[in-house]
Structure 1
Amino acid sequence: MSSRSAFDLSGSAPSSFDPGPLIRKHRTADATLTVTAQGAPLAGQEVVVAQRRHKFLFGCIGGDFIPLANGEAPAPDQPAAAGSQEVADLWLDVFNFATLPFYWGWFEPERGRPDTERTLTAARWFADRGCVVKGHPLVWHTETAGWLMDLPNAEIAKAQVDRIRREVTEFAGVIDMWDVINEVVIMPIFDKYDNGITRICREMGRIPMVRMVFDAAREANPQATLLLNDFDMSAAYECLIEGLLEAGVEIGVLGLQSHMHQGYWGEEKTLATIDRFARYGLPIHFTETTIVSGHIMPEEIVDLNDYQIPEWPTTPEGEARQADEVVRHYKTLLSHPSVEAMTYWGLSDGGWLGAPGGFVRVDGTPKPAYEALRSLVKDEWWLPPTTMVTDDDGRVRFTGFLGEYEVSAGGRTAVFTLDEPGGATVEAAI
C-alpha cells in the first residue's frame, strides 16, 4: 500500500535505475538479413526493411469496442467517446493485445443464454487487425452468475466446468489465451457477499479448485495459454503458486495485477515484485495496470472498490505525472526478461471506479501519457520503413526490437521475424 498522502501530485522520486541497456539486451536483436531473389542473393540493391508488429504484447482492455465491432450504438453506461471509431483508432495505433470481458454475470446473466456471438464478433474484429486476444476471466467470485446461488455446490462446480469447456472450445482459434481463474488467494474467504464460486472454493480448497478449472480449460484447448491471475502480491500468492506447482498443476503464465490508484510503485518495488515471481520459471504478464492522472486514492483504503466518489477528475498536473510514471513503468517491465506482456486497464477515463486512469480523456482527446507511450512503442522501440543497400552477398545489418518485419524490393515483399535477443541470422526470399 502506498505511503503517500491522498492528494500528493508530485509523483514518486526519480530512480537511479537505467533500464536502457537491459531493454536492448532482452528486447532487441542484431540482425543479419540475407535477401534472395529466385534462389540467388540480391546483391548491391536497395531494400526497404520495416517492422510490422512487436513480439512483446502491449495490451489494453477492449470491451469498450464490443458495440463498435457489432455495429451497435455505444453502451449507455460508458462515455460517448470511449467506444468510438476515433478512440478505436488510437487504441489500434499503440496496442497489439486485447483483453475481452467474460465475467460470468455479464456474459450469461440468464442460464443458457450466453453472449457468445457478440463477443466472438468483437474477438474477430481485434484478431483481423493483427491483435492477440485474451478472455478474462473464466472463473471469478466477483461478477459471477447470480443464478448459481440456486444450485447445490456439486452442481455449481459442474456448471463452472461446463462453462469453461464451452467458452474455450467455441472461441478456440480466435481466443487462445485465458485468465482461467482470478484472485484465488481471497476467493474462499471473500465476505463482501455470498456467491456460488466462493462457496465451492471454500468447500474444495484453493488447489483442488484451480486444478479442476485448469484441467477443464486444458482439455478444451490443449494449445491455449492459461494464466493464473491475482492482485495479492503478498507471500500468500507465492504459497499458492508453490502449492499448485508441487501438485502438478500446469500453469502457463503468472498474472500480476498492478492497479496504482494509491500511487506509482516505482522501479525498485516493481523489479523486486517481478523477481519474486520470476523464480518459478514461468512467463509473467502484468495483467491489469492503472496509473491515475488525478488525485491519488487515500492510503487508508484497503479495498480499492470501497473508494466511490461522485467525481474524480483528471488534472494538468496529474496528467504530467501520469505520463512520466507510465514511461518509467513500461521501461521497467521491458527491462526484465520474464515479462512478456503488459495490459493497461482502460484506454479511456471513466472506467473502473470512475478513476482518471485512462490515456484518453472522456471527450476522446489523448492525454500526454498516450503520446508518451506511443512514442515508445512506435518510435523509440520501432523500426519504420528504412532503406538499406545489400552487400555482395545480399546482406543487410540492423538492430531491431523483437517482432515481425517485412523487406521489400522491386515491388516484391517478404516477411521475417526476430524471435530471440542477441545476434540473429535470418533469410528472406522475395
Structure 2
Amino acid sequence: MRGTSMKPQSLRRAASVILAAASLLIGGATSGHAAAGPGQAGPDRQAAAEPVLRDLAAAKGIYYGTAVTASKLSGTYGAVVGEQFDSITPGNEMKWGSVEPTRGTYNWSGADAVVDYAEAHGQKVRGHTLVWHSQLPDWVSNGSWTAGTLRTVMTDHIAAEAGRYKGRIDHWDVVNEPFNEDGTRRQSVFQTAIGDSYIAESLRAARAADPAAKLYVNDYNVEGVNAKSTALYNLVKSLKEQGVPIDGVGLQAHLILGQVPSTLQANIQRFADLGVDVAITELDIRMTTPPTSAQLTQQKAEYKAVTGACLAVARCEGVTVWGFTDSDSWIPDVFTGYGAATPYDENFRPKPAYYGIAEALGWTDGGTNPPTGACAVTYAVQSQWNTGFTAQVTVRNTSTTAVNGWKLAWSWPAGQRVTQAWNATLTQSGAAVTAADAGYNAAIAPGASATFGFNGSWSGGNTAPTAFTLNGTACTSP
C-alpha cells in the first residue's frame, strides 16, 4: 500500500491475494480459478511437490500465462496448460491472416478452440492481435488502399473479431509492433495508407466492439528504457491526453540470455505512472544450444528477475511466457543455433527456469529442483576404422531421485557425425548431439544406468567429447 489510499489496480491485487490465501487455507477447492476440469488434478494439486504457477501468481495478485497452439490443447500439453497457467494467448489463431483470409470470409475454429478451452479451465484470454503489419492476408497487405478504404477494412475487421468474443476476452493486443528500433513509426500498410491516426482509430473501434476488454499496445525491444520504449511512452501519453481508450502497454520480452535490461523495473514503473497497466506479454529467454548447466542456471535467475520486476510494480498485471515448452517454441526456426528459451523442455519436464518463476512468486524449493552433478557419463570408442567408428555411452543416475525420461546432450570437438544408433534416438545439428531414451529404457533408478551405442563417421580426428548434460543438468565424466 502506497500512501493513504490504494489505486484500483492495488485494490484488485489485494483482493486477489486475500481470495487466494483463503482458498489455500480452506483446502484448495478453488484457488483463484474454477473447480478442477480436464488437465487439473483438483484438491490433490495442493499436496503436490511441484509448485503450481497459477496458484502462486494468484496469491501475489497477478496472472501467469502462456501462449498456446490450439491444435495441441490435449494430452500432456493440454494438461500442463490447464494445471499451471491462469491466462492463455493464442499464438496464431486470432491473427488477421488466420481468421479473415479473404475479405468478409471468416475462420473462427482455432480462436474458438482457445477461448472454449480457457473458459473450461477458469483462465483469462489475451486476444492477440487485431492490427499488425505481419501475418496479414494478401488481400490486405497487397491491396491498393486509400486512407478511407483501409480505415473501413480495419475497423470492420476489429468489429467482427472483437465483437465475436465480446465479454470473453480479458485483454486485447489491439495494435502490435507499431515502432522501428529507433522509435520512428513502422511503415506498415496501415501507417502508410492511414497515417499516425490508425492506432487511435483501432483502439476506439476495439472499445466500441468490446467495452469490457482491456486495450493494449504491444511491442518488442521496449523492455528497458531506450529510444523505442520512449517512443511508445510518448505515444501512450499522447493517447491518454486525447482521451483515446488505452488501458495498458505490453512489453513482449523476447530476451537473450545475459541481456535482460537493467532498467526493466524502472521502465514498467514509468508506464504505470502514466495511469496504464503493464504486462509482460511474450516472455522467452533464448540461449545457444545445446544448453549447459551454467546457462540453465543463469536462465533460471533471469526468469526470476523478470517475474520479480513485474511483482515490484503495482500496475503490472501479469506475465505470459511465449510457449511454455521448448517443443512449441518459435526460437529455433528463426534464430539459428538458439533455443531452450522456455520454462519446460521438449518432453514437458520443468527446467530450472520454471523453479525460478516459482521462487519469484514466493515458492520455497522443497528439494524438487534438479541438483547439479546428478549423473555420470562414460563414453568409449569400441572400434575405429578409416572413416568410421562404433561407440558406447553409459549414463548413470548418481542422484537419489529416479529419472523418468532422459535426453543426454554433448558436442563433438572434431566434426564427427552419427550414422546409426541403438537403444536411443540420436539427433544432430552441427556439432551438437542429443540422445533421447528409447521408451523402454526411459526410467533410470538412483544408482542405476542406461547404455546405448551408435556408429559414426570421422575425418581428421575422433576426439571424444568431454562435457555432457542430462535433461539440461551437467554430468561428471571420467
> Helix, strand or coil for the counterpart of 2:250?
strand
Q: Compared with structure 1, are the counterparts of its residues 158 and 27 closer, same or farther at alpha carbon in structure 2 (3 Å cutoff)?
A: closer
Q: 1:189 to 1:275 in 2, by over 3 A?
A: closer
**TM-score, normalization: structure 1?**
0.64
For the Cα contact (< 8 Å) 2:129–2:173, is it kept in 1? yes
2:304 is aligned, of 310, 327, 332, to 327
Tell me, yes or no, if the aligned pair for 1:104 and 1:138 is still in contact at 8 Å: yes
Q: Which residue number in structure 2 is paired with residue 130 of structure 1?
A: 122
Query: Partners of 1:370 and 1:239 in 2: how far apart?
Result: 35
- Per-residue Cα deviation, 1:238-259 (whole angstroms, up to 9, x for no partner): 2212222222211011212222
Is 1:61 the counterpart of 2:67? The answer is yes
Q: Is the 8 A contact 2:178 2:186 kept in 1?
A: no
- Is the 2:88–2:125 Cα contact (8 Å) retained in structure 1? yes
The C-alpha deviation readout for 1:186-235, integer Å capped at 9, x for no partner, is 398546xxxxxx233124322x1112111111111111111111225332
Give the superposition deviation at 1:362: 2.1
Distance 1:261 1:159, change over 3 A: same
**One-letter amino acid matched to 1:162:** D
CA contact (8 A) 1:26 1:335 kept: no
Offset of residue 285 of structure 1: 1.1
- Aligned residue for 1:251, secondary structure, equals coil
Q: CA offset at residue 340 of structure 1? A: 1.1
Amino acid at match of 1:48: I
1:337 to 294, 314, 334: 314
Q: Is the 8 A contact 1:94 1:378 kept in 2?
A: no
* Correspondence 1:88 to 2:94: no
| 1:259 paired residue number | 254
1:106 to 98, 123, 132: 98
Q: Following superposition of structure 1 onto structure 2, how do residues 395-406 of structure 1 map, counting pairs within 5 Å?
A: none
Offset, 1:262: 5.5
For the Cα contact (< 8 Å) 1:258–1:290, is it kept in 2? yes
Q: Which AA in structure 1 matches 2:341?
A: G
**Alignment partner for residue 162 of structure 1, among 156, 165, 180?**
156
Write out per-residue CA displacement over residues 18-53 of structure 1, whole angstroms, 9 at most, x where no aligned residue.
xxxxxx9996679699x9xxxxxxxxxxx8354612
Cα distance change of structure 1 residues 284 and 314 upon mapping to structure 2, 3 Å threshold:
same
Partner of 2:7: none
**Residue 136 of structure 2 is aligned to residue 144 of structure 1:** yes
Which amino acid letter does the alignment assign opposite residue 129 of structure 1? Answer: H
Q: Secondary structure at the match of 2:343?
A: coil
Equivalence for 1:414 = none
How far 1:139 moved relative to its partner? 0.3
Aligned residue number for residue 31 of structure 2? 52
Determine the C-alpha separation between the residues in 1 that align with 2:138 and 2:317: 35
Give the alignment partner of residue 167 of structure 2, picking from 173, 178, 200: 173
Structure-2 residue corresponding to 1:121 = 113
Cα distance between partner residues in 1 of 2:81 and 2:19: 33
Whether the aligned pair in 2 keeps the contact of 1:183 and 1:232 (CA below 8 Å) is no
CA shift, 1:271, in A, is 1.5
C-alpha distance in 2 between matches for 1:259 and 1:281: 25
Residue aligning to 1:346: 323
Distance (whole Å) between structure 2 residues aligned to residue 184 and residue 342 of structure 1 = 21
Residue 318 (structure 1) aligned to one of 295, 299, 304: 295
Structure 2 counterpart of 1:113, one-letter code: T
Match of 2:438 in 1: none
Could you tell me how far apart the structure 1 residues matched to 2:100 and 2:290 are? Answer: 33
- For residues 232 and 248 of structure 1, the distance between their equivalents in structure 2, rounded to whole angstroms, comes to 27
Distance between the aligned counterparts of 1:215 and 1:32, measured in 2? 34
Question: What SS does the aligned partner of 1:60 have?
Answer: strand
* 1:182 positional shift: 0.7
Query: Which runs of 5 or more residues in structure 1 are unaligned?
Result: 1-23, 36-46, 70-83, 192-197, 296-311, 382-430
Paired letter, 1:349: D
Q: Partners in 2 of 1:109 and 1:313 — Cα distance? A: 38
C-alpha separation in 1, matches of 2:157 and 2:19? 48
Q: Which blocks of at least 5 consecutive residues in structure 2 are unaligned?
A: 1-9, 33-57, 333-338, 366-478
**Residues of 2 paired with 1:25 and 1:121: CA distance?**
33
In 1: Cα distance, 2:150 partner to 2:14 partner: 47
Residue 202 (str. 1) matches residue 179 (str. 2): no
Matched residue type, 1:249: V
Alignment of 1:263-302 (within 5 A): 263-265=258-260, 268-292=262-286, 294-295=287-288
Amino acid of the structure 2 residue aligned with 1:163: H
Q: Are 1:263 and 1:291, in contact at CA under 8 Å, matched by a contact in 2?
A: no
- The count of residues paired between Structure 1 and Structure 2 equals 305
Over the aligned positions, Cα root-mean-square deviation in angstroms equals 3.1
SS in 2 for 1:137: strand
User: Contact 1:134–1:175 (CA<8 Å) still a contact in 2?
Assistant: yes
Name which structure has the greater RCO, CA cutoff 8 Å, separation 6+.
Answer: 1
**8 Å contact kept, 1:264–1:325:** no
Contact persistence 1:124–1:174 (CA under 8 A): no
In our comparison, the structure showing a higher alpha carbon Rg is 2
Alignment correspondent of 1:229: 218
Distance 2:265 2:257 in 1: 18
**2:207 aligns with one of 218, 242, 259:** 218
**Hey, what's the Cα distance between the residues in 1 that align with 2:156 and 2:88?**
25
| TM-score between the two structures when normalised by the length of structure 2 | 0.58
